[in-house]
A and B are shown apart, each in its own frame.
Chain A
Amino acid sequence: AQSVTQPDIHITVSEGASLELRCNYSYGATPYLFWYVQSPGQGLQLLLKYFSGDTLVQGIKGFEAEFKRSQSSFNLRKPSVHWSDAAEYFCAVGGKNTDKLIFGTGTRLQVFP
């Protein structure tokens, strides 16, 4: 079955601390992987994506993610979190010849000053 698991429902970090959000996927074909961010009242904004090639991908707002095929993971990282990063983060998987995305249940990030 195709699925995405985000084990952490809620994460709290201090401003300036590092961040890692976990994502595991199950997908029958070659996965295309994405991280989106959703702020209250806003739509989803794409942070980064992985299709192939270098397994460490850089995204917007200083985020990066690493694809590990052996672990079926695509964890999101940021070296130093800013208060404006507080939002809901979604990992998603798709594939070639389809635009259908399968999303995880999200991780809510809270940032303390």
Chain B
Amino acid sequence: DAGVTQSPTHLIKTRGQQVTLRCSPKSGHDTVSWYQQALGQGPQFIFQYYEEEERQRGNFPDRFSGHQFPNYSSELNVNALLLGDSALYLCASNRLEGLAGGISYNEQFFGPGTRLTVL
């Protein structure tokens, strides 16, 4: 059973360019979250996708956008790249389930990440 996979592993871009990162969730999972981890920092939540829609969003500008496909895989797009966008981008997946009175938390499984370098 494959876990969360991400592509590419590494990426080098220049300022102003656009980039697309890809994520395939763990089998059986329907929800994908994206995190940005700058060097020496903890991961920061970018957004989450469920049923092909953005369910939650962190404090990131509109240059960061995403998409989820019917097979639950997801893309993260970043436009007009800045030097400060250099980071490890992590994808996490889980299965969203509803319980009476609210939504339970299911463990998020993280992929190995994509290392983006902006020159």
Contact = CB atoms under 8 A, between A and B. Distances in A.
Contacts of B102: 96-97
Contact of B103 (A41, A92, A97, A102): A97
Chain A: interface residue count, which band?
20 to 34
Contacts, number: 60
A4 B105 CA distance: 19
A44 B41 contact: no
A24 to B, nearest CB: 14
Nearest to A41: B112
Nearest to B44: A103
B33 A99 contact: yes
Interface residues of B, number: 28
Interface in B64-85: none
Contacts of A49: 107
B111 A105 contact: no
Nearest to A101: B45
A43 B44 contact: no
Contact of B42 (A99, A100, A103): A103
A25 to B, nearest CB: 12
B90 A46 contact: no
A32 B42 contact: no
Contact of B94 (A96, A97, A99): A99
A44 B91 CA distance: 10
B56 interface: yes
Nearest to A51: B105
B25 interface: no
A44 B110 contact: yes
Contacts of B56: 98-100
B90 A32 contact: no
Given A99-B48, A102-B45, 11 more contacts: A43-B90, A43-B113, A46-B107, A51-B105, A96-B105, A99-B33, A99-B108, A100-B48, A100-B56, A100-B58, A103-B44
